[in-house]
Amino acid sequence: MMQAEKKSVPELRFPEFTSCFENTLMGTIYPQIRNGFVGTATPFYCESGIQYVQGRNVKSGEIQNNGFVSITQNFHDKCAKSQLKTDDILMVQSGHVGECAVVTEDFNNANCHALLVLTPKKNAVDSRFYVSYFYSPLGRQKIHIIKTGNTVAHILSSDLKKVTVPLPTLPEQQKIADFLTAVDARISQLIQKKALLEDYKKGLMQQLFSQTLRFKDDNGNDFPEWEEIEFEQIAAKSKTKHNPAKSDQDWPCVELESLSQNTGKLLETFSSSSQKSIKNKFSVGEVLFGKLRPYLKKFLHADFDGVCSSEIWVLTGKSVSNEFLYQLIQTHHFHQAANVSSGSKMPRSDWGFLASFPFQYPSTLPEQRKIADCLSALDRRIESLATRISLTQEFKKGLLQKMFV
């Protein structure tokens, strides 16, 4: 008989369900909670064989192909307790504890390493519901409580069995799981669409800047052939400084950590009045590029006046528009030059090298504008998708907050 402690009602639920949630122990509805194989399996790896799921493969509610390995049939047979069945739950028990996923048919009869394997009571639960539960704020709190270890966190199967979880009726579990699965599918579709659009932009940039693809002017005629000049003739590096200690003006301050990698997105700004070091001053329209660890590809097209870290170049177009310059610094050709750096532990782009590096460019502003407008339009579509992904993810977080008790 299932052990119930109390009954409760979630804040948000489907209208056809009115009964209270019972609460029970995890070990009651998942009577088999066992440790997967925990020894070294390296000698048993093989090029082809049985899939072997590890902790790194379990993330965000899915079993992901982050470098699957295979094991021999002989090793698989010896580790029967590690073998997986459809509808089992896999949970990471060391490190990123609590990451979990339902075993789908694709992984039926696979094997696993250093994971907890939860086998459900037949026809009693929908494992998708409980994976969602453990990603909810309440479920994460339950996992946090049973974590042990100072250096590397881990959880024990014996402790997980004692965790109290909600137990709605099976039809309600399935309804909730179906709905959340649909939300996840929508998020995945948006992420895939964004990735495809980003790949399309990369390909288009390569064609445009290699001149494989050319625009026509407004009369349908060819633009002049591109010219080759050094980068210092294309753009200038600003030398305007700002000393926070000697100024009462409080500017928004952009640090390297303010910039996301390879997206042109601003994550946050700081108050310049709280800074102590000398900063570079920038104005609306200028282009910022992080010279420290240039391989991180941190850049920004500023839409406000402010200051930034001295590890960030402030660039202004000389023979090109700033809009075109912003696209130019995202090209492979630019990054080749920017990544010729000095220093090993803290590599920095070498302005002297970049300044003399040759670039081909369209000499007419109309062609520059057509290229910049085309790529900027793609940037806006990518940013729109990023916003929709973020909003949908926030929507799901709200559901996880309100659908579980």
> 300-315 pLDDT, tens per residue?
999 999 999 999 999 9
CATH of the domain at 382: 1.10.287.1120
Containing domain of residue 204, as a range? 1-16+170-217+365-405
Asked whether residue 222 is domain-assigned, the answer is no
SS3 call for 258: helix
Reading the block at residue 341, the tokens are 């750096």
Say yes or no: 2 and 29 in one domain.
no
Q: What is the DSSP string of 37-83?
A: B-S--GGGEESSSEEEE-GGGEETBEE--SS-EEE-HHHHHH-GGG-
More confident residue, 65 or 402: 402
| pLDDT of amino acid 51 | 85
Give the Cα separation of 31 and 116 in Å (integer): 13
Asked whether residue 329 is domain-assigned, the answer is yes
Judge whether residue 83 has pLDDT over 60. yes
- Looking at residue 342, its amino acid is S
Say yes or no: 179 and 301 in one domain.
no
Reading the block at residue 86, the tokens are 């459809």
Asked whether residue 371 is domain-assigned, the answer is yes
Judge whether residue 71 has pLDDT over 80. no
Stated as kind and residue range, the H or E segment containing 294 is none
pLDDT band at 46 (very low <50, low <70, confident <90, very high): low
Asked whether residue 323 is domain-assigned, the answer is yes
Q: Which residues sit opposite 63 in a β-bridge?
A: 58
pLDDT band at 40 (very low <50, low <70, confident <90, very high): low
| Total structural domains within the chain | 3
Domain boundary, last residue among 341, 361, 381: 361
Say yes or no: 291 and 185 in one domain.
no
| pLDDT of amino acid 45 | 63
| pLDDT of amino acid 3 | 47
Say yes or no: 232 and 210 in one domain.
no
For range 156-166, the mean pLDDT: 95
| pLDDT of amino acid 2 | 44
| pLDDT of amino acid 82 | 80
Say yes or no: 193 and 263 in one domain.
no
What residues have CB less than 8 Å from 338, skipping those under 6 apart?
Answer: 289, 291, 294, 329, 349, 354
| pLDDT of amino acid 117 | 95
Asked whether residue 189 is domain-assigned, the answer is yes
Judge whether residue 390 has pLDDT over 90. yes
Say yes or no: 137 and 260 in one domain.
no
Judge whether residue 380 has pLDDT over 70. yes
More confident residue, 169 or 51: 169
Average pLDDT for the chain: 92
Say yes or no: 40 and 144 in one domain.
yes
CATH of the domain at 347: 3.90.220.20
Length of the chain counted residue by residue:
405
Q: pLDDT tens-digit profile of 198-227?
A: 999 999 999 999 999 999 999 999 999 999
Give the Cα separation of 301 and 284 in Å (integer): 8
Q: Which residues sit opposite 94 in a β-bridge?
A: 154
What residues have CB less than 8 Å from 67, skipping those under 6 apart?
Answer: 56, 57
| pLDDT of amino acid 38 | 63
What residues have CB less than 8 Å from 391, skipping those under 6 apart?
Answer: none
Q: How far is CA 164 from CA 143, 175, 331, 397, in A?
A: 11, 21, 54, 21
pLDDT band at 156 (very low <50, low <70, confident <90, very high): very high
Query: Under a CB-based contact definition with an 8 Å cutoff, are residues 223 and 215 in contact?
Result: yes
pLDDT band at 4 (very low <50, low <70, confident <90, very high): very low
Say yes or no: 380 and 342 in one domain.
no
Say yes or no: 249 and 341 in one domain.
yes
Query: Under a CB-based contact definition with an 8 Å cutoff, are residues 238 and 317 in contact?
Result: no
| Segment among 16-30, 96-110, 343-357, 371-385 with least mean pLDDT | 343-357
Q: pLDDT tens-digit profile of 253-279?
A: 999 999 999 999 999 999 999 999 999
| pLDDT of amino acid 1 | 39
Asked whether residue 156 is domain-assigned, the answer is yes
Judge whether residue 81 has pLDDT over 80. no
More confident residue, 149 or 38: 149
More confident residue, 242 or 344: 242
Handedness of CA 288, 293, 296, 297 (dihedral sign): positive
Asked whether residue 282 is domain-assigned, the answer is yes
Say yes or no: 355 and 237 in one domain.
yes
Backbone angles phi, psi at 340, to 5 degrees: -80, 105
Judge whether residue 177 has pLDDT over 70. yes
| pLDDT of amino acid 39 | 59
Give the Cα separation of 288 and 301 in Å (integer): 6
Give the Cα separation of 96 and 56 in Å (integer): 9
Query: Under a CB-based contact definition with an 8 Å cutoff, are residues 1 and 394 in contact?
Result: no
Judge whether residue 144 has pLDDT over 80. yes
Give the Cα separation of 242 and 143 in Å (integer): 48
Give the Cα separation of 304 and 323 in Å (integer): 15
SS3 call for 211: coil
Give the Cα separation of 314 and 321 in Å (integer): 14
Say yes or no: 198 and 244 in one domain.
no
Judge whether residue 43 has pLDDT over 50. no
The model's pTM = 0.85
Say yes or no: 283 and 377 in one domain.
no
Query: Under a CB-based contact definition with an 8 Å cutoff, are residues 338 and 330 in contact?
Result: no
Backbone angles phi, psi at 257, to 5 degrees: -70, -10
Give the Cα separation of 176 and 163 in Å (integer): 21
Asked whether residue 64 is domain-assigned, the answer is yes
Q: pLDDT tens-digit profile of 337-366?
A: 999 987 667 899 999 999 999 999 999 999
pLDDT band at 334 (very low <50, low <70, confident <90, very high): very high
